[in-house]
Amino acid sequence: MGEIVTLAEVGELERVLERSRERPVWLFKHSLTCGVSARARREYQRFVAANGEGADFTLLEIQRARPLSRVVVEATGVRHASPQAILLRDGRAVWHASHSGITVERLATAAG
């Protein structure tokens, strides 16, 4: 099973983007106070459990890392949503989904 690494600092995003040049990186933006986000997080966790070897997996908790969340928008060009899953490859966002669009099946399809 893959490990989900929680991001909190802006510098960590730079490392994640650089890492995505070597292997896919998933970024999950999660609201700690939203039921829809809790459901999507469970889907993300199930996806990671089933597909944990081929990519890196990260988590950004919006309430604990608002500045980082804003930098993600700037760095990826993906408008903020929560919950939100973003797939990074070669230093850029190549796929994203939010809310009910985050399912194990859709994440697996995006992963290829």
Q: What is the CATH number of the domain that holds 93?
A: 3.40.30.10
Burial letters 15-27, b for 16+ CB under 10 A, else e: ebbebbeeebbbb
Provide the residue range defining the domain that includes 11: 4-111
pTM comes to 0.95
Q: Are 29 and 84 in contact (CB under 8 A)?
A: yes
Alpha-carbon gap, residue 106 to 112, rounded angstroms: 10
User: Which pLDDT score, from 0 to 100, does residue 1 have?
Assistant: 55
Total count of domains within the chain = 1
pLDDT in tens, the chain (112 residues): 579 999 999 999 999 999 999 999 999 999 999 999 999 999 999 999 998 788 999 999 999 999 999 999 999 999 999 999 999 999 999 999 999 999 999 999 999 8
CA-derived radius of gyration, the chain:
12
pLDDT at 53: 84
